[in-house]
Amino acid sequence: MQYLYPLLTVMIWAGNNVITKAAAGRIFPAEIGFYRWLLAGLLFTPFLLGPVLRNRAAIKPIMGKVAILGVLGMAIYQSLAYYAANITTATNMGIILSLVPVMTLGMSIASLGTALTAGALVGALVSFAGVLLVVSQGSWAVLVAHGVNLGDLMMLVATLAYATYSTLLKKWQLRMPPLQLLYLQILVAIIALFPLFLLSPKTGLSASNIALVLYACIPTSMLAPLLWMKAISMLGPSRTTLFFNLVPILTALVAALALGEQLASYHFIGGALTLGGVILAERWTTPLRKAAGR
């Protein structure tokens, strides 16, 4: 039963990658990015506004850090994914997103004093090689001649933003209830994305896109964070993070079934290398140097 929480979370995330791709052409990226957080904020407000106001004395000193987290993890990360979906495939998005654990580990080594391990070094190189294989479509000549697809590049930046978010979340250890922290970050995302929403062309909500917005809002923005927090409390962060490795696999399967995306050999090889690198980084813990302060 305890494994159901992280499994449901990664299934929701994989579905969101496919929903993000399906939204391309039906609703502008700035619209769905803004609507999902606006709706999540409205739904959370009756339950969380009162507790947040009562806790405002404790929140005020850390509000600057909360704002940074909201911009990185909610606004930049997902907005870039919506723009990337207009140019690249859901399968590519899922594989690139699987770099998050390796990037987060690298940032933890650099900024948190985490010990550099053989697995972290080798795993990062293997994962990066896997992503390069995917973004080059299995041909180094294509990569040299045409460079990285703009959508894949956007996803790389989005992944970096989320890894930074994860590292800062761990570094700052903000002492406040998780639901209140989530709610405040959602409010920050609404404020940050509002100017982009105003300036963007709009299709408006319609029968063709409302289900996509609702999925992005309710399962992805509200349910998944709660399930993930529950999983961490039951299994611990290390064991829970392992389930993140299922996201690219599930994304590729759902994208093939729901969107008809064709899976090429470079997807399988590149995805395997990326996942293999993540597993090496998490499991091969032989230190290459001592952690800072030891």
Residue type, 284: W
User: Which pLDDT score, from 0 to 100, does residue 270 have?
Assistant: 83
User: Which pLDDT score, from 0 to 100, does residue 145 have?
Assistant: 60
**What mean pLDDT do residues 165-187 have?**
89
Within-domain flag for 39: yes
pLDDT band for position 293 (cuts 50, 70, 90): very low
Range of weakest confidence among 58-62, 143-147, 218-222: 143-147
> Which domain range does residue 218 map to?
4-283
Q: Rounded CA gap, 83 and 98, in Å?
A: 18
Q: What confidence tens digit (pLDDT) does each residue in 203-236 have? A: 999 999 999 999 999 999 999 988 888 887 787 6
**Torsion of Cα atoms, 217 then 162 then 266 then 212, to 10°:** 10
Within-domain flag for 289: no
Within-domain flag for 230: yes
Within-domain flag for 288: no
Quick one: 164 exposed, middle or buried, by C-beta within 10 A (0-12, 13-18, 19+)?
buried
Within-domain flag for 76: yes
Q: What confidence tens digit (pLDDT) does each residue in 231-254 have? A: 877 876 666 776 777 888 888 888
Domain count, the chain: 1
Q: Which two tokens stand for residue 279?
A: 């597993």
Within-domain flag for 109: yes
Within-domain flag for 75: yes
Within-domain flag for 72: yes
Name the range with the highest mean pLDDT among 72-76, 136-140, 254-258.
72-76
**Is residue 284 pLDDT above 90, yes or no?**
no
User: Which pLDDT score, from 0 to 100, does residue 291 have?
Assistant: 45
pTM metric for this prediction: 0.84
What b/e string do you get for 32-67 counting C-beta neighbours within 10 Å, with b at 16 or more? bbbbbbbbbbeebeeebeeebeeeeeebeebeeebb
Nearest to 287 by CA among 104, 113, 171, 167: 113
Q: Rounded CA gap, 13 and 82, in Å?
A: 14
89 close to 254: Cβ distance less than 8 angstroms: no
Residue type, 283: R
